[in-house]
Structure 1
Amino acid sequence: MTTPIIEHRFRVALHDTDAAGVLFFAHLFRHAHDAYEAMMVRIGWPLDGLIRGRQIGLPLVHVEADFRHPMRHGDQVAVKIERAGLTERDFSLAYGFFIHEFEVATALSVHAAIDPRFGKRQRLSPELAHALTALPPCAEPGV
């Protein structure tokens, strides 16, 4: 991975784990979303402002994840984000989850631009598209 614009950190809490003592799979997406929210603040497009201002909706339309190594209670995890794709109507983000320097999981999210008043697809504003280009591109083609 190239140097990300943001590195979000979290500690795996007891409530994050399942009966086997590892991170419950769905909680990976919660932590990815926390990293996404922090990234949007960092690039100048905080989601709370977008939601309150009803300027644009950016719902998830696709997510996927791969787990390579268990994350257990107490593990300190760093989430690194890269831009996996950008079109005029959507963008995708690649997330790497690291314990120390070892990548333990990856995720991908695709966000579509919608007009929140009508729920219809729309173009990303040129300003938002430009802000998203500040993210480093994903090093893996096809992600």
Structure 2
Amino acid sequence: MSFRGIMTYYRTIRLADTDAAGVVYFAAALSICHEAYEASLEQSYINMRTFFSDPNVAIPIVYGEIKFFAPLYSGDQLEINLFPKQLTDSEFEIKYELVKVAPNAEKVALAQTRHVCIHPNPRRRSPLPDLMVQWLDHCATPEAVDI
């Protein structure tokens, strides 16, 4: 696994990512997208342990989808491009473009997750923490990815 810049994450598909037919299934692909999101946060020097253990902040995923254009198999090399965007003071989305890099670059899937910041008790929306807003600002891109 490696990371180029803040927006692209590289990963090899492992056997554990596949189903009995040897193909990556949707839940594993979304998990890989989440892995890319976490790597992007870490690359921005966000301490995952302290950031996500804050008792006053939770940022659950409230929506997720993925659309496949070609199958992925164990051993395939992936490039995952992230396109985060702040939607409101308490909500953001990340669009992901999954590209199989060998033997030639081929877009194999598009995914999207939507995240909402809440205060865990009483489970009401709250503004995104400054670190998250900084990450979103840093990742802002004019590129649009439709899913």
User: TM-score per shorter chain, which class?
Assistant: 0.7 to 0.9
User: Which residue of the other structure, out of 124, 130, 133, is the alignment partner of 2:128?
Assistant: 124
Deviation at 1:138, TM superposition (A): 5.7
User: Gaps (5+ residues) in structure 1?
Assistant: none
CA distance in 2, matches of 1:20, 1:4: 34
Counterpart mapping for 1:105-116 below 5 A: 105-116=109-120
User: Which residue of the other structure, out of 127, 131, 138, is the alignment partner of 1:134?
Assistant: 138
Deviation at 1:39, TM superposition (A): 1.0
Alignment pair present for 1:43 and 2:44? yes
- CA contact under 8 A between 1:11 and 1:76: conserved in structure 2? yes
CA distance in 2, matches of 1:27, 1:48: 23
Q: TM-score, normalised by structure 1?
A: 0.85
Deviation at 1:137, TM superposition (A): 2.7
Equivalent pairs, count: 141
Percent sequence identity over aligned pairs: 26
Bigger relative contact order (CA 8 A; separation at least 6):
1
Q: TM-score, normalised by structure 2?
A: 0.83
User: Gaps (5+ residues) in structure 2?
Assistant: none
CA distance in 2, matches of 1:111, 1:44: 20
14-23 or 47-56, which deviates more: 47-56
